[in-house]
């Protein structure tokens, strides 16, 4: 096999089909068509794609990894209470990572780490933004290792947060503080 040349770029409308296929392949949860439309049109969602420029036959711009995130108002989230509430700054925000995935053959190359770095850099660039956070299902060891290794803090275990095929699973809530928390 060849040596990959990984590049990062925003997700665009032409990524729609591959983005949907990767989500269906990678996650046990089904996402609505509206979610994918919002991602590719960057409607209230920021995202980054990883591509392998060394892939032949027109695949050099095809998604092999992605991260999607949303800016939310801190006071409207379940972790708003963790930030020091400043009545002079009611517009405090957070960045919520919705989905993160890497195609199996490209795992363990540091691609997820780079995608998360992009999100942290983006979040840090907003003075109003105080943290990046996400939920992960409690049995997802690779993802939990990744977030711990990147210094995310696990602050909560949410009982029965996910409902998959009629079964409940717990989730962990991970936070990475930026701009002083
Ligand atoms: N076992 C243990 N630790 C792992 C594993 C693994 N299989 N994979 C990654 N890690 C940890 C390691 O600590 C690694 O650091 P190291 O190589 O220095 O030891 C660190 O994560 C970074 O690894 P990357 O190579 O950047 O991770 P990768 O590109 O392989 O992607 C991911 C990791 C996204 C979890 C991938 O396995 C995947 O797509 N899994 C299926 C989808 C998924 O679980 N997504 C996250 C769900 S949570 C959410 O979406 C908000």
Instruction: Round to whole Å and give the CA distance between 75 and 80.
Output: 5
What pLDDT score does 85 carry?
Answer: 67
Name the DSSP letter for residue 77: S
pLDDT > 80? residue 82: no
The answer to whether residue 93 is domain-embedded is yes
The answer to whether residue 131 is domain-embedded is yes
Domain at 92, CATH number: 3.40.630.30
The share of the chain scoring above pLDDT 90, in percent, equals 88
Residue partners of 27: CB distance under 8 A and separation at least 6: 99, 101
The answer to whether residue 96 is domain-embedded is yes
Instruction: Round to whole Å and give the CA distance between 178 and 97.
Output: 14
One DSSP character per residue, 15-73 reads GHHHHHHHHHHH-SS---HHHHHHHHTTSS-EEEEEEETT--TT-TTSEEEEEEEEEEE
Pocket test for ligand 1, best of 112, 114, 137, 171 (most atoms within 8 A of CB): 112
Calculate how far, in angstroms, residue 116's C-alpha sits from the geometric centre of ligand 1. 11
The answer to whether residue 66 is domain-embedded is yes
Phi-psi group of 121: left, alpha or beta (phi > 0 → left; psi -120 to 50 → alpha; rest → beta) = alpha
Closest ligand 1 atom, CA of 111?
29
Stretch (H or E) spanning 180? none
What pLDDT score does 181 carry?
Answer: 84
Q: Bigger pLDDT: 97 or 75?
A: 97
Instruction: Round to whole Å and give the CA distance between 75 and 82.
Output: 10
Domain count, the chain: 1
- Report how far apart, in Å, the C-alpha atoms of 142 and of each of 100, 133, 147, 166, 174 are: 12, 17, 9, 24, 14
Does the C-beta of 136 come closer than 6 Å to ligand 1? Answer: yes
Does the C-beta of 97 come closer than 6 Å to ligand 1? Answer: yes
pLDDT > 70? residue 84: no
Pocket test for ligand 1, best of 45, 109, 142 (most atoms within 8 A of CB): 142
The answer to whether residue 1 is domain-embedded is no
The answer to whether residue 105 is domain-embedded is yes
* Residues of the domain holding 103: 6-177
Does the C-beta of 9 come closer than 6 Å to ligand 1? Answer: no
The answer to whether residue 170 is domain-embedded is yes
Burial class of residue 150 in the structure, from the number of CB atoms within 10 Å of its CB (0-12 exposed, 13-18 middle, 19+ buried): middle
Pocket test for ligand 1, best of 107, 139, 141, 152 (most atoms within 8 A of CB): 107
Q: Is the dihedral of CA 86, 90, 93, 94 positive or negative?
A: positive
The answer to whether residue 117 is domain-embedded is yes
Mean pLDDT of 55-81: 93
pLDDT > 80? residue 33: yes
């Amino acid at each position: 096999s060849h040596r990959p040349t990984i590049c990062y770029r925003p997700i665009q409308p032409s990524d729609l089909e591959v983005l949907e296929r990767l989500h269906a392949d990678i996650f046990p949860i089904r996402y609505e068509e509206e979610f994918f439309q919002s991602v590719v049109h960057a409607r209230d969602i920021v995202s980054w794609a990883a591509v392998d420029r060394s892939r032949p036959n027109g695949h050099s711009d095809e998604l092999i990894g992605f991260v999607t995130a949303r800016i939310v108002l801190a006071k409207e989230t379940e972790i708003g209470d963790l930030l020091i509430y400043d009545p002079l700054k009611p517009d405090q925000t957070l960045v919520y990572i919705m989905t993160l995935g890497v195609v199996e053959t490209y795992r363990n190359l540091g691609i997820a780490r780079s995608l998360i770095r992009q999100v942290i850099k983006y979040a840090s660039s907003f003075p109003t933004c105080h943290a990046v956070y996400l939920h992960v299902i409690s049995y997802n060891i690779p993802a939990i290792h990744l977030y711990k290794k990147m210094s995310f803090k696990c602050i909560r275990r949410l009982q029965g947060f996910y409902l998959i095929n009629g079964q409940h699973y717990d989730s962990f809530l991970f936070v990475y503080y930026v701009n002083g928390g």
